[in-house]
Homo-oligomer: A and B are copies of this chain.
Amino acid sequence: MCTAVSFNKKPRLFGRNLDLDRRYAEEAVLMPRNFAYPYASDIKISIKKGGFALFGAATVIGGMPLFYEAVNEYGLFAAGLNFTESACLKDKESGKLNLAPHELIPFVLSSCKDLSEAKRLMQGVNLTHDSVSDEYPAARLHYFFADGGGSLAAEPLSEGLLLTPDPLEVLTNEPPLSFHLKHASMYRALSPSAAPDNLGKASRGAFTSDWVSLGLGAFGLPGDLSSPSRFLRAAFTKLYALEKPTEKEAVNQLFHILASVSMAEGTVRTDLGFEKTVYTSVLSSESLTYYYTTYGDPSIKPIRFSERDLTKNTLVRYPMFDTI
């Protein structure tokens, strides 16, 4: 269970919560321009030599980074989010660009400068049920793509990889984005302002409240941690949270936005135990910085990559520290 958000005009930032009931060995990873990603054979041919560099969080298996989320050097962001019931992975199809789920993020981000290029590229993609190795099942995800100008969801459904514009610039989990957008329309009246006193007006003042509270203008916003409710809360908070001119302030704002949908351990039960927000990240392509907090350490820890890192040919890897 996860939440991804695109925020702020300039610098544009991208962030996500990773909510799980277990830990994988996440690292902050930069995949440089000259890294040879071990794509499945038929892709190898089509990939341009010398792709764009990207960085984000990944589990590295056999030298291959499996990205949770990443941004490339041009500010194109992608995140994978659980989509277990609806994901429809397919057999390879000739005439299509067949990609395993874990290949989508590195392939698109190393190939495309922006969202419109990504959209064009993904129109030819067929997402297959191939996995990174026999030990792992294929990842059942949908994907959030964003750049400085907009966002979309890429969702492997029965009709193919559906690309849906995402004007709310938020994605969580099930069901598909088209549901979340229609659902948000029900909540259109919510606002940070005081709730208008329509009951008082309708009673011509006979009924006057003996108390008020700031914040009642958003009463009705769901507060649970299911994916539709996180979508609404993240979208509302992102829409109204003040944008900021400096990266420091804007990064801080985006961590506050993501806090509104984060999970305290114990409040979401799973078969194995409880989900919690394992990490929260904010990515800036402008400063080549991967900011993160972990469940056990809420301080914002920046990992700053360098221009020189971009030109290497091996992964640049940093551990993500947690203190509990």
Contact = CB atoms under 8 A, between A and B. Distances in A.
A316 interface: no
B264 A256 contact: yes
Interface string A78-115: 00000001100000000000000000000000000000
B174 A188 contact: no
Interface stretch (A36-44, A64-72, A209-217): A209-217
B207 A196 contact: no
Contacts of A241: 264-267
Interface string A224-259: 111111101101110111100000110011011101
A10 B200 CA distance: 21
Best-surrounded residue of A193, A198, A233 (most CB of chain B within 10 A): A198
A253 B228 contact: no
Interface string A161-180: 00000011000011100010
Contacts of A175: 182, 210-211
A240 B266 contact: yes
Contacts of A268: 192, 214-215
Interface stretch (A26-34, A51-59, A127-135, A294-302): A294-302
Best-surrounded residue of A202, A219, A296 (most CB of chain B within 10 A): A219
A279 B242 CA distance: 18
A85 to B, nearest CB: 5
Contacts of A202: 191, 239-240
Interface string A259-297: 110101111111000110000000000000000010111
Nearest to A230: B215
A187 interface: yes
A262 to B, nearest CB: 6
A265 B256 contact: yes
Contacts of A203: 167-168, 239
Contacts of A300: 298-299
B232 A223 contact: yes
A175 B178 CA distance: 11
Q: Which 3 A-B pairs have the closest CB atoms?
A: A223-B223, A299-B299, A215-B225
21 contacts: A168-B207, A182-B209, A188-B209, A189-B217, A191-B198, A192-B268, A193-B269, A194-B269, A199-B236, A214-B226, A214-B275, A215-B267, A215-B268, A215-B275, A218-B267, A219-B229, A240-B266, A241-B265, A256-B264, A256-B265, A259-B262
